Structure 1
Amino acid sequence: MLDAILWVFQNIAMAFYNLGYAISHPQLWLDWSDKQAIMRVVYYGGSVEFFFVAFTIFLVLTGIGIWKNSFMWGLVRGLEGFANTVGRFAAWAGLIMVIQQIIIVFIQRIFARPDLVIGFGIPLQFDVSWYSEELKLYNALIVTLCATYTFVQGGHVRVDLIYSAVGHSAKRVIDMVGSLIFMMPMAVLTWMYGWYFMWRHLIVPNPSASDTLDRLLMKSRALRWNVETIGFSPNGFNGYFLFKVLLISFAGMVFLHAMAFFWRSYLEFKEGPESANKYLDKDTLGAGEEAYEGTH
């Protein structure tokens, strides 16, 4: 137990050095004309070092926010604004999905065409089955990029047999604990799985989570881009690597909002019931429609 605690504190201390070294040596990981730089990104993106850098930043910002609450409120508003902005933009994929499905039905059933051409000058021409399978991408955009937006808006279904029966302070404690032991670990596990899952569909030789940095640098000698372009059908959608990118985006946004949710819960706990939903930017359907706003 003592060794584990010591290991955690050592990694937190090293996080400052690792972050400073990465910032002061950007050519080692930003210059993607160098194959070794790509492999360093692959390794460190799913590494213990990267986790502790992110976690240490969270600890430092939390410490500053405890000392100066206005700073923490600024962080909350910024991260919630980011979630709202991304979610509101990605939600338009739902409308695009419906319009595209209507067009597909017209093309297939009325005009009896096997393909669909969109654009001017150099048109985008694919088989109708390509556009049909592409609808999955719009659905994935909504699920992954609107998750934290829905959370901010209070739209996720909550089983609150205990939560609804306790007072303001107890609710905020439950929220803080939940963000630390549920949201953050779930986001980290999803990132760890999705990170290597994504890169295995982008480059060869395939990287593995068990590969050391030295082994990946050796593999970089044979590295080449091999972006996944194989569909489930001969003429079907062939951009499935985008789903892996969205999985990573989802995990990153959930981790960021777990931080924001912890900070908001702490501030509302400290400032009392009058601070509930302070600065919260929630969508509204208008006067008289309050009963339909959010799902609880």
Structure 2
Amino acid sequence: MLDGIVWFAQNLLMSFYNLGYAVTHPGLWLDWSNKESIMRFIYYGASVEFLFVILTTFIVITAIGFVKNSFMWGCVRVLEGFANSIGRFVAWAGLLMVLQQIIIVFMQRIFTQATISFGFGTGLTFDISWWAEELKLYNALVVTLCATYTFVQGGHVRVDLVYSVVSFRTKRVIDMVGSLLFMMPVSMLTWLYGWFFMWRHLVVPNPSASDTLDKLMLKSRALRWNVETIGFSPSGFNGYFLFKILLVSYAGLVFLQAVSFFYRSYLEWKEGEASAGKYLDKDSLGEGEEAFEGTH
């Protein structure tokens, strides 16, 4: 028990040094013309050191926010605005998906073409089956990058067996506990496994979560890019590495939204029911459609 406390305290204190060193020596992990820099980036992207840097940053910002609530509200507005901006932009992928499906149907059933070309001059030409499978990417974009936007808008389905009958402040306590014990840990675990899953489809030799930094430095001697371009069919969509990148992006966005949700819940708990929905930038379906908002 004591050893665990000492280990935690040491890593917490070392996180200040690690963050400062990373910021002042960006070439060690951002200079991707150097193979060792790539391997350092891969290692530290899901390392204990990075975890404690994130944890320390969260603790420091939260402590400042407890003292200065206007600062915490500012964090909420920035993080929710970030989620809303990404979600509102990526949501257009749903329209692209519908339009592309219509084009595929017309080209395949009416014009009986085997390929489709998009673009001016030298167009992007692929088999129709490629374009049909590529529709999955639009769906993945909406699911992964619009999840936090939907959360901010109150559009996720929830089961309120207890939540709906408790007081306002009790709801905020439940929200705070949920963000700390469920949203943050699950998003961090998703990031941890998704990070190495992604890199195993981008470079060789394949990095592993169990590899030490020294072992990865040895692997860097043979490092080369090997981006996954294998589809499920010979002429099908071959950009499945993008799904791995989206998985990591999703985990990062959920973690940031967990932080934002914790801050909003705390501030609403402290300031009372009058602060519910304060600074919340929610979309509107228009006048007379209020009953349907938050359910789409």
Residue 198 of structure 1 aligns with an amino acid whose one-letter code is: M
Counterpart residue type for residue 95 of structure 1: L
What is the deviation of 1:288? Answer: 1.0
Deviation for aligned residue 1:286 = 1.1
Q: Indicate whether 1:147 and 2:139 are aligned.
A: no
Q: For 2:260 and 2:13, how far apart are their aligned partners in 1?
A: 23
Partners of 1:265 and 1:89 lie apart in 2 by 26
Letter in 2 for 1:38: I
In the alignment, residue 241 of structure 1 is paired with which amino acid? F
Q: Which residue identity is paired with 1:80?
A: E
Counterpart secondary structure, 1:133: helix
Q: Which amino acid aligns with 1:40?
A: R
Q: Give the structure 2 partner of residue 165 of structure 1.
A: 165
Map 1:122-133 onto structure 2 (within 5 A): 122-133=122-133
- Counterpart of 2:276, as a letter, is A
Q: How many residue pairs end up in the alignment?
A: 296
Please name the residue that 2:272 is paired with: 272
Q: 1:74-121 CA deviation, whole Å, 9 max, x = no partner?
A: 000000000000000010000000000000000000000000011111
User: What does residue 11 of structure 2 align with?
Assistant: 11
TM-score after normalising by structure 1: 0.99
RMSD between aligned residues: 0.9
Deviations along 1:54-79, whole A, 9 cap, x unmatched?
A: 11111100000111000000000000
Partner of 1:45: 45
In the alignment, residue 64 of structure 2 is paired with which amino acid?
A: I
CA deviation map 1:171-224 (0-9, x unaligned)? 000000000000000100000010000000000000000000000000000000
SS, match of residue 66 in structure 1: helix
Q: Deviations over 1:224-281 (max 9, x none)?
A: 0000011111011111100000000000000011000000001001101000010000
Partner of 1:195: 195
CA distance in 2, matches of 1:136, 1:263: 35
Corresponding residue for residue 62 of structure 1: 62
- Structure 1 counterpart of 2:295, one-letter code: T
- Tell me the amino acid that sits aligned with residue 16 of structure 1: F
- Do structure 1's residue 259 and structure 2's residue 272 form an aligned pair? no
Q: Deviations over 1:19-74 (max 9, x none)?
A: 00000111100100000000000100010110110111111000001110000000
Which residue matches 1:176?
Answer: 176
TM-score of the superposed pair, with normalisation by structure 2: 0.99
- In the alignment, structure 2 segments of 5+ residues that lack a partner are none
Question: CA separation in 2, counterparts of 1:10 and 1:179?
Answer: 26
Question: Structure 2: how far apart are the matches of 1:132 and 1:239?
Answer: 13
Q: Distance in 2 between matches of 1:53 and 1:287?
A: 46
Q: Match of 1:284, SS?
A: coil
1:5 Cα offset (Å): 2.4
Question: 1:10 offset after TM fit, Å?
Answer: 1.6
Question: In 2, distance between residues paired with 1:233 and 1:116?
Answer: 17
